[in-house]
Structure 1
């Protein structure tokens, strides 16, 4: 294998290597016909919407592709149905089958029926980042070939979709991961996404020995972790923060947030050390509202006698720990929020969510206004989750009346996904303004840091 890959790496091509068998099949006129088998399986597929979007974005002529989707009845029907409705007319054929066991001969018969020259087999943990992936793999014209898929897009570690033989050594692993050679390199096994030439298709499906290759020409795709979700939740992908961070941040963080952290954009300055900036996407806000409403066990200070925790609030709330989301959110506190604090205040420290909860109130409820208060921690993020209300917002009493510097600042705070960021200092007294109509949701995180001298403001105050 090393000799074959060396020949490929120096650009001589497969024909120069005596240790390879290569036959060029005969195609119909035009681009080879492709049968694509999407094996979405019987369990939850994390970030399936992005998986299907990456497949649909491929530049291979869709009128030369026949798509067969295998899924479990009732599993993620919304994502699959949306894909079928949006792209059903694009492909030569697109068929959804539920709970069918695919036998090798059945796949071969299907390939014969549509006169395919290549079989594409794709599992649901594959996100194709490069739209030329399928075109490049078919152009490789080898027995079984796949793209480079990586769980972590930077660094040396992380799961990948290829297996090398025991005697290949670590050097070839690095060469492939880093794409030092741009070509078609032989490996022991390629997983999760394979383009199979028809002349070896039945042997491949039967588990016979067939040469496997990896194509390093196209940009790597993402190799998702199947554990990146939480069973029994309305929106399981919210829990994919730890396992599938790249797609999580693409879907759920506002695209301008990382620009602000990287100092390529500036946040709005509302008052001294008080900032207003985009944080979450509208998709996150919608999903977290639906998740807490699905849970439904709101804590109410006047009505809730289950535990003392309910009496720590002055409104109707659900703590993120109640929906088993505190650990995930605390990771955000110690990554994204910590980096943002460094940008805003030149302050970095590990934090712990003293209170992290979703607040809900309406214009007609008892909790429709709040007294001036301090949050009693190091800093607070107050994130608006919706905007279908009037009135509301936050009012700050800045400065100190004894020194003639006191002034009030009102922030409408009705931009979905936007955060008010404040240090919890005596000069940041604030309270919620009453709603005039509608219902307001907000995600509040009141965070202590490991710097004890910063908790709740300077000691002398």
Structure 2
């Protein structure tokens, strides 16, 4: 009656808010309502259809997600000039005044439910968390055969230090949904793939229930807007308050058509449990695992070696020599072992060990004769017992490595020579043995410059070895594992491989820019 009777409204002194000056119902009209900031940075909900700024927002049904998005900003939650006024003011436990034995008990669940590289580094980082292990109840679910040993090594090293631990390691009858039920405010640290916009949260949900990009997604990921944000989906790393867990009744089975993490988040949305993502600090990053399963299928012994493209940051941490980046400093002088022969740290000992193991795992060493069907023309002038990078499907990866890590050093020491990207056809691991091929006669390399990397230890794995440069009356031991000896190829640097007298010596050779 009041809505239809204008006279009654006038008598009662009631007006209709038909243009949303006071109230804004979001259901069905989210496209009309957008976020604006006034001159002092205060966030306002703006109705573009009526050019009004409603004071009260209401969302029901599917519009609740949009209400949550607006609530991240309005009511002085976030300012375009001052940022997040309540960040850093949230109540925190003062652990400095507590005995570590009385720290809150934390349950942490680790799920390895698909092929993922660098699990070893993840577990080691987890073990270094600055929190007493005796106050952590640990749950590990691993369904991947390739990670069984890694998990066992972790448990052997750290397992006894945790308060309790429950582990499913390997192929078990328990499935991921059941395992997550074992583990069970919901908040996730913002984690992104390095250099990409792929993260562990969604800013919005499309009508089909999958990802949709919100207006503020890029700003949050790039930390142009810092705070904690109400979002419809979080995954990968999630912190759940123990009080919330009492309300959780099989959320991972809530929608069996969806993946377990999507089922959990749909349950949380439908039941009114807010999920937040926090980007106040840099909490880490996500491992890229999309193509990793294909490397595993090819039967590689150390599949992480093939991850230089997808996971360069953590690949460097494992496989690049720890002293390498110091070489790039302007004031660092790279020493010459002989005239124009530079010796410098390039790859880690682990890289060297795993490269040897990959080559022996492949096992098809050349005969060491001049006949070589791998080469155009089938003839090798200076033959060695070797395996080419192409044979183990590592050619593209090693070319990239040469361009990214060797070329900058070359440009630093051989001034005025630039060639990007580098080119190389001959990239191979050589095996020297006294009873096979102990040495290599004097020769010039078919390259503009070459690098030889020592892969194993003199005095431990072999005796003898080294490289002689007759023209300069100079011998380089070339026996520091992971160090590269870099020198000009044709014309100036005639050289020979000195005899290996005992054991087996491995070197990785690259003829760059032939």
Q: TM bucket by the smaller chain?
A: 0.7 to 0.9
| Separation in 1, partners of 2:177, 2:498 | 65
Q: Deviations over 1:187-234 (max 9, x none)?
A: 221221111223434265333113221112332312111135412111
Quick one: which of 145, 152, 162 aligns to 2:201?
Answer: 162
1:173 aligns with 2:240: no
The answer to whether the 8 A contact 1:276-1:418 is kept is yes
| Separation in 1, partners of 2:468, 2:72 | 70
1:64 Cα deviation after fit: 2.2
| Separation in 1, partners of 2:127, 2:456 | 31
- What corresponds to 1:64 in structure 2? 135
1:442 Cα deviation after fit: 0.3
1:385 aligns with 2:455: yes
1:379 Cα deviation after fit: 1.2
Q: Which has the larger radius of gyration?
A: 2
Q: 1:443 to 1:228 in 2, by over 3 A?
A: farther
- What corresponds to 1:135 in structure 2? none
Stretch moving more, 224-233 or 439-448 = 224-233
Stretch moving more, 318-327 or 61-70 = 61-70
Quick one: which of 329, 343, 359 aligns to 2:398?
Answer: 329
- What corresponds to 2:151 in structure 1? 80
Q: 1:424 to 1:104 in 2, by over 3 A?
A: closer
Q: 1:264 to 1:69 in 2, by over 3 A?
A: farther
SS of the equivalent of 1:85 reads helix
SS of the equivalent of 1:44 reads coil
Please show how residues 224-263 of structure 1 align to structure 2 within 5 Å. Answer: 224-227=287-290, 229=292, 230-231=295-296, 232-263=299-330
- What corresponds to 2:434 in structure 1? 363
| Separation in 1, partners of 2:486, 2:233 | 49
| Separation in 1, partners of 2:229, 2:73 | 5
User: Gapped runs of 5+ residues in structure 2?
Assistant: 1-68, 92-100, 207-211, 255-263
- What corresponds to 1:4 in structure 2? 72
Quick one: which of 270, 277, 282 aligns to 1:214?
Answer: 277
The answer to whether the 8 A contact 1:285-1:416 is kept is yes
- What corresponds to 2:413 in structure 1? 344
- What corresponds to 1:188 in structure 2? 232
Quick one: which of 375, 388, 407 aligns to 1:319?
Answer: 388
Q: 1:261 to 1:100 in 2, by over 3 A?
A: farther
- What corresponds to 1:374 in structure 2? 444
| Separation in 1, partners of 2:143, 2:495 | 51
Please show how residues 140-151 of structure 1 align to structure 2 within 5 Å. Answer: 143-151=185-193
Q: Deviations over 1:294-338 (max 9, x none)?
A: 110101133977655774252110011111111111111222222
1:424 Cα deviation after fit: 1.5
Quick one: which of 162, 166, 169 aligns to 1:91?
Answer: 162
The answer to whether the 8 A contact 2:370-2:379 is kept is no
The answer to whether the 8 A contact 2:402-2:422 is kept is yes
| Separation in 2, partners of 1:88, 1:264 | 45
Q: 1:342 to 1:394 in 2, by over 3 A?
A: same
1:36 aligns with 2:104: no
The answer to whether the 8 A contact 1:151-1:225 is kept is yes
| Separation in 1, partners of 2:418, 2:237 | 42
The answer to whether the 8 A contact 2:115-2:144 is kept is no
| Separation in 1, partners of 2:492, 2:338 | 10
Q: Deviations over 1:330-370 (max 9, x none)?
A: 111222222222222233312221200000011232x2222
- What corresponds to 1:452 in structure 2? none
Quick one: which of 440, 448, 451 aligns to 2:505?
Answer: 440
**Normalised by the size of structure 1, how large is the TM-score?**
0.78
Alignment size in residue pairs: 396
SS of the equivalent of 1:221 reads coil
1:281 aligns with 2:348: yes
| Separation in 2, partners of 1:180, 1:147 | 16
| Separation in 2, partners of 1:318, 1:392 | 19
| Separation in 1, partners of 2:372, 2:386 | 14
Stretch moving more, 302-311 or 157-166 = 302-311
**Normalised by the size of structure 2, how large is the TM-score?**
0.70
The answer to whether the 8 A contact 1:8-1:183 is kept is no
- What corresponds to 1:25 in structure 2? none
